[in-house]
Structure 1
Amino acid sequence: MSLSKDKGEQNPLEKALAAYIEALQTKPVLTKAVTSGCISAIGSLVSQLIVPNPANGGKIVWRSVAAYAAFGFVVSGPLIHKFYILLDKMMPPKKEKTALDGIKRVVVDRLVFAPPFLLLFLYVITILEGQGHQAAIARIRESFFPVLKLNLQVWTVFQYVNVNYVPPKYRVLFGNALALIWSVFVASKRRKMALANK
């Protein structure tokens, strides 16, 4: 069945997809905020399930799930939406793309947007998890450069595709879907390393 069929003839998945696309058109910021919040929460939950924390007996830390959901809803979804609009205004995508055009757009994303966004993420998530200002600063000192390096190494190719070829209304969703896969991948790696060190 295609999306062009009458709504009464669509299956539930087609209806949900059509409703989501309509919401992206009519309420783009809210839709991306909700999507980002939900995917961020799922990523936190899946990561905790794959790599249980032995310090608390492997229980799910729901405050952490809520922190990721809140960050995705309030900060990540709306902020990244606005950034992509600004990027398209500063460097409008061209019908005839050159490699240099694509590289310029991804350089702005990777070197101008990603570092401060990562700082904000590390600080706000730590605060929302209830660990306080000092713990947030310590987390930034410990994690910022290693995470930024890994981010630049792994995400640059995906972001090149995202900022140059994914339609603007789907960029936040594309990034969130990759972030979910990434969090599961990292959690799996951490789990394998933990088991190997036992």
Structure 2
Amino acid sequence: MNGWYRRRLVAAPLLTQSITTAVLFAIGDVTAQQLIECRGLEKHEFSRTARMLFYGGVVFGPSATTWYRFLSRHIVSPNKTAQTVRRVACDQLIFAPTFTGVFLTSMAVLEGVHPVEKLSERYLDALKANYLIWPAVQFFNFKLIPVQYQLLVVNLTSIGWNAFLSLLNNAKTESKSSSRKKRHQVEVNSSSA
């Protein structure tokens, strides 16, 4: 681990982890837009990347930093495997469902969309996808990685995960707005006939 980064984690852990999270959340969105959606720079939605950067740095980074510290202090067992299983269970039964909702709600608010609509359309899909990936990642993370680096492991894994979340968050909105436009065109064409 880079000496400078390690020193920053000791000197200002919350700030360092929040900035790291912000940058890597933005990279996840850029990955989604450029490598998966192949938008190119002309069609890149910089406001979408900014929303992910903001959420990562202001909401997820500080919350996850605090959560991992909480788990390391309060979920303790002499049996390392039992301790790891308990931490994963807490993470996946408390933090994951909560922050899946917080993510979708935050994105809705930042996009000017009603959160209830976004939650009802996307929450279960996001949570199911979470359960396919994160329990295994977190088992490895909680068992082998020191607490000060756990968020970094999550953030690096999250580049792909955030690309998925960004796609999930935006794909249905785009297809829904397209179907609304088509419906509106049909209504306009019907009324003018």
Checking the alignment, whether the CA contact within 8 Å between 2:25 and 2:162 is kept in structure 1 is no
Q: Is the 8 A contact 1:123 1:140 kept in 2?
A: yes
Counterpart AA for 1:100: A
After superposition, residues 61-80 of structure 1 pair within 5 angstroms as 61-80=45-64
Residue aligned with 1:102, SS: helix
Residue 186 of structure 2 corresponds to none
User: Counterparts of 1:151 and 1:115 in 2: how far apart (Å)?
Assistant: 9
Give the Cα separation in 1 of the matches to 2:45 and 2:161: 20
Q: Identify the residue that residue 25 of structure 2 maps to in structure 1.
A: 40
* 1:119 is the counterpart of 2:64: no
Q: Shift of the alpha carbon at 1:126?
A: 2.3
User: Larger deviation: 30-39 or 44-53?
Assistant: 44-53
Q: Contact between 1:162 and 1:174, CA under 8 Å: does it hold in 2?
A: yes
CA separation of 1:93 and 1:19: change in aligned 2, threshold 3 A? farther
TM-score scaled by length of structure 2? 0.78
Following superposition, the deviation at residue 58 of structure 1 comes to 7.0
For 1:116 and 1:186, locate their aligned partners in 2 and report how far apart those are by CA, in whole Å: 15
Question: Can you give the 5+ residue segments of structure 2 that lack an aligned partner in the other structure?
Answer: 168-193
1:64 counterpart letter in structure 2: R
d(CA) in 2 for partners of 1:148, 1:105: 18
TM-score by length of 1: 0.76
Q: Report % sequence identity.
A: 27
Pick aligned residue for 2:72 from 80, 85, 88: 88
Q: Tell me what 1:6 maps to.
A: none
Displacement over 6 Å in runs of 4+? 185-188
Please say if residues 106 and 159 of structure 1, whose CA atoms lie closer than 8 Å, have aligned partners that are also in contact. yes
Using the TM superposition, give the Cα deviation of residue 85 of structure 1 relative to its aligned residue in structure 2, in angstroms: 1.1
Q: Which has the higher helix share?
A: 2
Preserved CA contact (<8 Å) 1:52 1:59: no
CA RMSD across the alignment: 2.5
What is the number of equivalent residue pairs in this alignment?
167
